[in-house]
Amino acid sequence: MAATLTPPAPEAPARTASRPGTGTGGWRGRWPLLPLIAAVLLPALPYGTGGDGPAAGPADLASGIAVLVCVGRLLYLRQRPLGVTAALVLGLPALGFAVATVTAADPAAALPGLVRYLQVFVLVPTAVYLLLKDAHGFRIVAGALVVLAVVQGAVGVKQYVTGTGASYMGEEIRAVGTFGPSDIMGMATVVAYGLLAAAACALRTPRNAPAWLRPCAAVLAVVLIVPLALSFSRGVWIATAAALLVALALSGRRQALTSLAVLGASGVVLVGGFGIGSEMIAERAASVTQVTRAPDRSVSDRYAMWSAAGSMWREQPVTGVGLKGFPAHRDAHASIGLSSGSDTAGAGQEYRKQALLSPHNMYLLILSEQGLIGLTAVVGSWAAILVGAVRRLVRERSRGHAALDCGLVAVALMTWQCVNFLYSDIGGPTTVLSGVILGLAAWWALAGPEQADVPAGPAKAGAA
C-alpha cells in the first residue's frame, strides 16, 4: 500500500498541465530567457542617435549577459551541450573571422571587428540555441520581436504625421523610430521582424492557443505594413515581400493565396486609401525598377562601394583585406564618382554628413574583408541553417508537428535576413538582433525533436 502512494501525484499533473511545449511550469525555469528578451527590446532605447554614440549599447550588454548565463549553465549545470552538427554549423564562421584577423595588415586594428563578428554571428546565436528549452520559449522571444515592432512602428507613424521624422525629399517625414537618421534602416528592420513573426503566427497558430490569437496576429501583421511603408526603405520592402512569399508557400494551407490577397489589399487600403504617404511611397517603389537605368545618388554611391569591395577582393582573393579594413582601403579602390558621404538630418538631429564606411552589402563586405575563406565559412553556415529550417518545416508539416508556427517564423526571419543582407550590413543598435534571428532559425533547424516537440508531458507520463 505504501508503495502505491510513493509517486507524488500533485507534481506530475503540474508538469503536463503547463502550456504546450513548455516542459516546465511558469517562469521559474525560464529566467535564462530574460537577457534574451532584454537584448530584443533594448534596441528601442534612443541611445547614440546622434551618430557619436558608443559602439556597444544596452542590447549588446544584455546579449553578453545571455552568453555568460549560457556559459554558466554549461560549466556548472552541465545542461544542453552542443551536438556535433550544431557545433560545426554555428562555429564555422569563427574560422573565417580568425583567418581574416591574423592575416590583416594590422591585426590589432582588426581585433574589435573580430569581437563584434564573434558576438553577432557565433556567440549570440549559440546562446539563443542553448537557452531555448522548447517551443514556448521560442514563442516568448518571437513575441518580444512583435512588441518591439509595434512600439517602433507607432513612433515611426507619429514621426510621419507630425513631421518630426528624418529628412526625406526636403521634408522631415521619414519614419525612423527611436534610431534616428543615422540609422535609417533600424526601425524598418525591427518592424519587418515583427510583421513576419505576426504573419507566421496567423498562418500557423499554435495548438490550444486562445481563439483571439489568430485574428490578433493577422491584424498586427497588416497594421505593421504602415510604418514599414513609411520607412521608405526599398531593400527592406523587397526582403519582407520575399520572406512573406516563402512563408505563404510553406504554410501548407489552401488559404495561402487568400491570405496574400488580404494582406495586399489591406496594405493598399491603409497606405493608399487613407493617403498615408501614398504618393511618395509610389515614387519610392517605382525607383526600384530604375536603379539600373536612372539611379539616384544613394544607388550610385552603393554601386561605387560595391565596385570597391570587388576590387579589394581581387587584390586579396583568399583572405581579404582584414576585418574592419574596408574603410581604410575604400579610397584606393573606389571610383571618383563616390560622394563624400550621405546627408542626414531630422528626428532631433542637426544636419550632418555621414561617412560611407561599408558597401551596404553584407556578402560583399565579407568577401572584401575576409576573402573566399570567410565568405565560404559564413555563407555556408547561414545556408545550412536556412536549408535545414526549410527541410524540417516540410518534414514536420507532413507529420502534424505541433510547433509548426515556430518553424514558419524561423524560416521567414532567416529568409528575410539572407535577402536583406544584399542591401545592408551590420551596424547600429539592431545588429545584435541579427544574432538573435540566426539563433532562432538554428534552434528550429538543428535542435532535436524532443526540444521542439509539443507537448512534452505525455511522453514523461508514459515513462513514469
Q: How far apart are CA 101 and CA 111, in angstroms?
A: 7
Which string of b and e fits 26-64 if b means at least 16 CB within 10 Å? eeeebebbbbbbbbbbbbbebbbbeeebeebbbbbebbb
pLDDT at 29: 66
Sign (positive or negative) of CA dihedral 367, 370, 375, 378: negative
Q: How far apart are CA 130 and CA 114, in angstroms?
A: 22
Residue 207 CB burial class (10 angstroms; 0-12, 13-18, ≥19): middle
Q: Which residues of 92-240 form beta strands (DSSP E)? A: 166-168, 171-174
pLDDT at 262: 57
Which residues does 151 contact at the CB level (< 8 Å), separation at least 6?
44
Q: How far apart are CA 267 and CA 411, in angstroms?
A: 23
Instruction: Kindly state the cell numbers that stand for 457.
Output: 508531458
Amino acid identity of 229? Answer: A
**Cβ–Cβ < 8 Å for 69, 131:** yes
**Cβ–Cβ < 8 Å for 146, 461:** no
pLDDT at 184: 86
Q: Write the CA distances from 22 to 30, 139, 249, 459, integer angstroms.
A: 9, 10, 28, 13
Select from 205, 197, 214, 199 the least CA-distant residue to 143: 197
Instruction: Kindly state the cell numbers that stand for 199.
Output: 504573419
Residues lower than pLDDT 50 in the chain: 1-25, 49-54, 273-275, 450, 454-464
Q: How far apart are CA 171 and CA 135, in angstroms?
A: 45
Q: Which of left, alpha, beta for 282 (phi over 0: left; psi -120 to 50: alpha)? A: alpha
**Cα 163 from chain centroid (whole Å):** 28
